[in-house]
Amino acid sequence: MRLAHRTAVVTGGGSGIGAAIAYAFAAEGAKVLIAGRGEARLREAAAKSAGPHPIRTCVADVAIRADIERLFEQADRELGRVDILVNSAGINVPRRALAELSPEDWQKIIDVNATGTFLCVRAVLPQMRERRDGVIINISSVAGIRASLLGGAAYTASKFAASGFGLVAGLEEKDHGIRVTNIYPGEVETPILDQRPVPVTAEHRARILQPEDVAAAALMVATLPPRAHVPELTIKPTTQAFA
């Protein structure tokens, strides 16, 4: 129980990487609150946890400031504090090539992937500063450190923004005892694959990363002693090129 007596808020916790991280943290004894836009999906995900504490849920859109305020009010009320924040909410769209990308889809992706990360970090920092302790994990993407056609212009821009923000936040907050980590997964078998312009085969899904692989990386970061900090961590499928 390496996270006994610790608490965590995980956005995008209803499925994919967020849900896998929530399960991993809960199994190690953490009290966990997951947030997402779909109540039914959140409840279904929470019911699958095998941890000693039931996973709590909050319907919230990270792109909406009022939802973020409500999320962290609930976290303070039900968890007492937030020791670990995992920003895992993320979206993409099928029409992602620049010739097809609409201004509306551009803004939607930026609002969730980049601004949502900022709003959540901004909400949790005061209490972490007061305690001089806290872990923030941003689930970015290899698209946030290497531009490619696969993710599209808006997704890549949003992830570069979130990655840069996380690095600066880590530099600013290190003397307050707050550790900020960007995790850059390569291809992962999650519902976001359903938004690919070209359908992904079952064979392809089987050979790429699974959500629990990224969760293992997040758990390693979250269980390090306060003296140790991992600013950036890349994890990719063995078969995926990284150049």
Backbone angles phi, psi at 224, to 5 degrees: -65, 150
Query: Residue 168, class by beta-carbon neighbours within 10 Å (0-12 exposed, 13-18 middle, 19+ buried)?
Result: exposed
C-alpha to C-alpha distance for 240 and 126, rounded to whole angstroms:
39
Return the amino acid letter for 63: A
113: DSSP letter: I
28: DSSP letter: T
C-alpha to C-alpha distance for 155 and 148, rounded to whole angstroms:
10
H or E, element range at 58: strand 56-59
- Return the percent helix, strand and coil in the chain, to nearest 5: 50, 15, 35
The residue annotated as part of the active site, out of 23, 72, 155, 165, is 155
Annotated active-site residue 155? The verdict is: yes
Count of Cβ atoms closer than 10 Å to residue 132 Cβ: 11
Nearest to 142 by CA among 96, 110, 180, 185: 185
Q: What number of helices (H) and strands (E) belong to the chain?
A: 8, 7
Residue 104 C-alpha from the chain's centroid? 23
- What are the catalytic residues? 155
